[in-house]
């Protein structure tokens, strides 16, 4: 019997350290056990990540939130950004920023930058329906190292973002009631740290499939105390995204797991969260059903009252609710 136990343990160890061969396919992944996982870059290309890789000490010393860039888009400059510089009032006064308008801030995930699809897709959707300020957080400096390094830099990046937003509000006379933070993957946890750094004042935070690997039980993860109203849209839960409800309102389209409609691999399902959100901003047509428990959400068996997923409404509220829904994905064109 003792020999059998040893053999079984060895098999489990080998399985946890096995290198997956199909790019983007994370069907092998077991949270907390697997060493390798495929993660997409800003354009959806899968990269094999070693979750046990030692963080890069040089990058930890030289790259942090001080390297953040803040790109402003408005209806007057919908595709060419104006650069806002923390502490430089002239950079704001000479820009198209309007303090009396809503302000959305978007944060990309690992191995991405300000030009990545998550930013362009959501920015164009927001400006199509609202005369607002859209600020893209480009944190490529801290996002371009090993995943294990970027995870450790997330809190600092978020704290610098919080400081920038507090300065922006003080400088322009804007208000936290006009602020909506939107983050995908690691970007969702950046928004969580930014919100808590400024005493949970952002009026709304939306986490788009908040990153899962190394975030389960992590005190730096996005949570419901990060803002006045916090919501998450889970599309690759248990793999690249967190599956557990972590927000005031947690939405689980199609059960919140891979494969999402139109997807065959995990990396596709992970990106589906921001595609669905961008679509919801334009049309506000995704209506979920309130769940009595988490099991109902996982199995898409909820029958409670309806709640809208996504959209750009700042006054939206949901108090610790779990929502499931079915989203039929036809083509990328249908989201534009």
Q: Which of 160, 189, 197, 270 is catalytic?
A: 270
Q: Is 189 a catalytic residue?
A: no
Give the phi and the psi of residue 50 in degrees, each rounded to 5.
Answer: -95, 110
Alpha-carbon gap, residue 255 to 291, rounded angstroms? 12
Q: Is 248 a catalytic residue?
A: no
Please report whether residue 20 resides in a domain.
no
Question: Token pair for residue 98?
Answer: 């309007």
Please report whether residue 46 resides in a domain.
no
Please report whether residue 41 resides in a domain.
no
Q: Is 150 a catalytic residue?
A: no
* DSSP bridge pairs for 333: none
Q: Which of 209, 236, 248, 250 is catalytic?
A: 209
Beta strand ranges found along 189-326 (DSSP E): 204-208, 230-233, 249-253, 287-290, 306-308, 321-325
The answer, yes or no, to whether residue 65 has pLDDT greater than 70, is yes
Helix (H, G, I), strand (E, B) or coil at 236: coil
How many domains would you assign to the chain? 1
Burial of 184 (0-12, 13-18, 19+ CB in 10 A): buried
- Residue 270: which residues within 8 A CB-CB, separation 6 or more? 39, 40, 185, 209, 235, 236, 239, 240, 241, 258
CATH code of residue 177: 3.40.50.1820
The answer, yes or no, to whether residue 246 has pLDDT greater than 80, is yes
Q: Which of 185, 226, 269, 271 is catalytic?
A: 185
| 224-234 confidence digits (pLDDT tens) | 999 999 999 99
Please report whether residue 132 resides in a domain.
yes
Contact 232, 318 (CB under 8 A): no
Please report whether residue 44 resides in a domain.
no
Query: 89 falls in which pLDDT band (50, 70, 90)?
Result: very high
- State pTM to two decimals: 0.94
Contact 261, 254 (CB under 8 A): yes
Please report whether residue 179 resides in a domain.
yes
Query: What pLDDT is stored for residue 14 in this prediction?
Result: 43
Residues of the domain holding 174 = 56-335
Nearest to 240 by CA among 30, 46, 39: 39
Alpha-carbon gap, residue 58 to 121, rounded angstroms? 33
Q: What's the mean per-residue pLDDT of the chain?
A: 92
Please report whether residue 30 resides in a domain.
no
| 132-158 confidence digits (pLDDT tens) | 999 999 999 999 999 999 999 999 999
Contact 165, 198 (CB under 8 A): yes
Please report whether residue 2 resides in a domain.
no
């Amino acid at each position: 019997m003792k020999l059998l136990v040893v053999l079984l343990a060895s098999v489990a160890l080998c399985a946890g350290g096995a290198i997956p061969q199909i790019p983007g396919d994370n069907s092998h992944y077991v949270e907390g056990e697997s060493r390798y996982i495929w993660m997409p870059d800003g354009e959806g290309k899968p990269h094999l990540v070693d979750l046990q890789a030692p963080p890069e000490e040089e990058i930890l010393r030289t790259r942090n939130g001080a390297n953040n860039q803040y790109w402003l888009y408005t209806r007057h400059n919908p595709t060419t950004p104006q650069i806002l510089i923390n502490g430089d009032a002239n950079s704001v006064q000479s820009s198209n920023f309007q303090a009396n308008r809503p302000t959305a801030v978007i944060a990309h995930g690992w191995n991405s930058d300000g030009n990545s699809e998550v930013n362009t897709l959501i920015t164009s959707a927001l400006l199509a329906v609202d005369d607002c300020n859209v600020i893209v957080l480009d944190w490529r400096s801290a996002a371009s190292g090993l995943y294990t390094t970027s995870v450790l830099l997330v809190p600092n990046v978020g704290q610098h973002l919080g400081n920038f937003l507090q300065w922006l509000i003080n400088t322009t006379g804007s208000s936290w009631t006009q602020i909506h933070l939107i983050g995908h993957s690691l970007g969702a946890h950046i928004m969580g740290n930014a919100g808590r750094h400024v005493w949970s004042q952002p009026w709304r935070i939306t986490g788009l499939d908040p990153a899962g690997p190394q975030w389960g039980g992590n005190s730096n993860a996005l949570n419901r105390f990060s803002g006045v109203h916090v919501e998450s849209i889970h599309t690759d839960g248990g793999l690249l995204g967190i599956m557990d409800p972590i927000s005031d309102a947690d939405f689980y389209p199609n059960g919140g797991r891979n494969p999402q409609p139109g997807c065959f691999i995990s990396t596709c399902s992970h990106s589906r969260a921001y595609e669905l959100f961008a679509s919801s901003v334009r049309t506000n047509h995704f209506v979920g059903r309130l769940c009595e428990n988490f099991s109902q959400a996982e199995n898409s068996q909820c029958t409670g009252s309806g709640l809208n997923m996504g959209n750009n409404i700042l006054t939206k509220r949901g108090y610790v609710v779990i929502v499931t829904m079915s989203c039929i994905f036809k083509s990328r064109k249908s989201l534009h």
